[in-house]
Structure 1
Amino acid sequence: MAGDGANRHSLLEDAQGIAYGATMAAFGIVILTHLGLVTGQTAGLAVLISYTTGWSFGAVFFVINLPFYWIGYRRMGGAFVAKTFAAVALMSAGTMILPRLVSFDQLHPGAGAVLFGFVSGAALLALFRHGASLGGVGIVALYLQDKTGFRAGWTQLLFDVGVFLLALGLRDVQTVAWSFLGALVLNMVIAINHRRDRYIAT
């Protein structure tokens, strides 16, 4: 039934869905960072900070998201913020744990970029379906749309352009090109499979 997708799940179903989404998102980041690639949105900014400082992606991503929860609470409500906080915390922890459990003997950047897009797209779809997100820029984009009428999609696009321009100053052109492929696949997965009239999206 359209419109109630975010509310019809039991607590156990939500917990499983958020755990799945956060774990798959963490695995996507493991693929991404193994290849030295970048991505868009808040995760992309956290990846670049991690590359340039040597700080853990998980820690950076967790801290970057903290200011967005108040906006998320005002825009989406307490349940959304609680679920999103759990998803961000689980993903951040997962990116620290999974590299100790998973390694890649051979992974072509093109294949890795596509796999990142598929895995991360599936992760976000699961989170959206259970009324959560990975926080960040998407929340601000929706808030600005409510307040000013400026389309959320444009805000997210402008942010991504800034991230990739910054990446060009830090990574080689080929790496950024493969990264763009991964981001394109991710966004295509969301665009084709996600219904905004059914599930919360950020």
Structure 2
Amino acid sequence: MKQIQHKKLTKGKIALRVLLITIGAVMMGVGLEIFLVPNKVIDGGIVGISIMLSYISGWSLGLFIFILNLPFFFIGYKQIGKTFALSTLYGISVLSVTTTFLHPVPAITQDVLLATVFGGIFIGIGVGIVIRYGGSLDGTEILAILFNKKTPFSVGEVIMFLNLFILSSAGFVFTWDRAMYSLIAYFVAYKTIDITITGLDESKSVWIISENYDLIGDSIMNRLGRGVTFLKGEGAYSGDDKKVIFCVINRLEEAKLKEIVTENDPSAFLAVADIAEVRGGRFKKRDIH
């Protein structure tokens, strides 16, 4: 059997990855030390545990972040791969150094709500950049992947359970109002990670089944400037041949597309779903004349 040769990253791509992971890790460090930590608000995951241990012991936050995440570097190496593990180790190292250097810097604001929101935004952007370029800044996700293989729970369910337990613990270490602020910071960071990874121009896949497929297809191409693909389908009950229209749009075009479908066939089947990324093909929008 012919062995598959994996392409190595070029020096330019490696340099870009290192630069962006550095930026992402520094941004997370800013979110922690300039906003959350001085106001006794924590993040989820291993970082949240590190913040509480640092507060209790008086030791460096960066030290706890590095030591507690280190076992997950080895798990990630085995479970996901060498490139991911090395990217993660580098990102965590930069994050640890950043928090150590920024610790003496005073907080920008003493308003806990402002600190919570802006800290969450900085953390979300930082984590999102690192994930987008092949790394991680917290071992919780890797632990969740491991639990997922041993238990019936999904990765998302495991992460949610672990983070609820960690964030709730802030009530015992700090105060219960800080635990509630921590939940807000986690939610803001979570949503910001999604936006950073998928981008503001979120794409949607569209599936349409209609007898007037030709009219709908022409309208989508001419009025939206989107390419369409006709797929062959068959009704499971009737056995009739069907034409399925497939295309990709952004969220701003969804209302216009629904209008086009309704105009040409009010009874058409229409399904719209979110997709994280689109590459290649003929799905790029062209100018409408």
CA change 1:16–1:72 in 2 (3 A) is: same
**Aligned pairs (5 A) from 1:84-163:** 84-100=88-104, 102-104=105-107, 106-163=109-166
Residues 128 and 194, structure 2, Cα contact 8 Å, conserved in 1: no
1:93 corresponds to which letter in structure 2?
V
Is 1:14 paired with 2:11? no
Give me the whole-angstrom Cα distance separating, in 1, the residues matched to 2:78 and 2:18.
23
* Deviation (angstroms), 1:99: 3.0
Residue 64 (structure 1) shift: 0.2
In structure 1, which of residues 42, 61, 70 is the aligned counterpart of residue 65 of structure 2? Answer: 61
Q: 1 CA distance for matches of 2:86 and 2:160? A: 26
Point out where structure 2 has 5 or more consecutive residues left out of the alignment. 1-8, 199-274, 278-289
* Secondary structure at 1:50 match in 2: helix
Counterparts in 2 of 1:129 and 1:106: CA distance versus 1, 3 Å: closer
- Answer yes or no: is the 8 Å Cα contact 1:127–1:133 preserved in 2: yes
Whole-Å separation in 1 of the counterparts to 2:53 and 2:47: 10
Please give the per-residue CA displacement for 1:172-195, whole angstroms capped at 9, x wherever unaligned: 122222222111101111234434
Match of 1:52 in 2: 56
**In 1, are the aligned partners of 2:148 and 2:154 still within 8 Å (CA)?**
yes
Aligned-residue identity in percent? 25
What amino acid maps onto 1:83 in structure 2?
S
Aligned partner of 1:172 among 167, 171, 175? 175
**Larger relative contact order (C-alpha < 8 A, sep ≥ 6)?**
1
**Do 1:58 and 1:91's aligned partners in 2 also have CA atoms closer than 8 Å?**
yes
Find the aligned partners of 1:135 and 1:113 in 2 and give their Cα distance. 19
Paired positions, count: 191
Residue 73 of structure 1 aligns with an amino acid whose one-letter code is Y
Bigger-Rg structure (1/2): 2
1:23 maps to which of 23, 26, 45: 26
Aligned partners of 2:45 and 2:138 also within 8 Å:
no
RMSD value, Cα: 2.0
What corresponds to 2:86 in structure 1? 82
Preserved contact between residue 69 and residue 135 of structure 1 (Cα < 8 Å): no
Shift of 1:142: 1.5
Q: What amino acid does structure 2 have at the position aligned with 1:180?
A: L
| 1:87-110 C-alpha deviation (Å, 9 max, x unpaired) | 00110010011234x423643100
Match of 1:190 among 169, 189, 193: 193
Equivalent residue number for residue 36 of structure 2:
32
More divergent stretch after superposition (162-171 vs 16-25): 162-171
1:4 aligned partner: none
Distance 2:103 2:61 in 1: 12
Q: Which runs of 4+ in 1 moved over 6 A?
A: none
Offset, 1:164:
2.1
What is the alpha-carbon distance in structure 2 between the residues aligned to residue 104 and residue 68 of structure 1? 31
What is the DSSP-based 3-state SS (H/G/I as helix, E as strand, rest coil) of the residue aligned with 1:120? helix
Cα distance per residue 1:48-92 (max 9 Å; x no partner): 111111111100110001111121012210111111000001100
Out of 43-52 and 148-157, give the one that drifted further. Answer: 148-157
Alpha-carbon separation, structure 2, partners of 1:73 and 1:153:
21
Higher strand share: 2
C-alpha separation between the residues in 1 aligned to 2:98 and 2:137? 13
Residue number in structure 2 paired with 1:3: none
Distance in 2 separating the partners of 1:122 and 1:192: 8
CA distance in 1, matches of 2:194, 2:142: 18
C-alpha separation in 2, matches of 1:34 and 1:186? 18
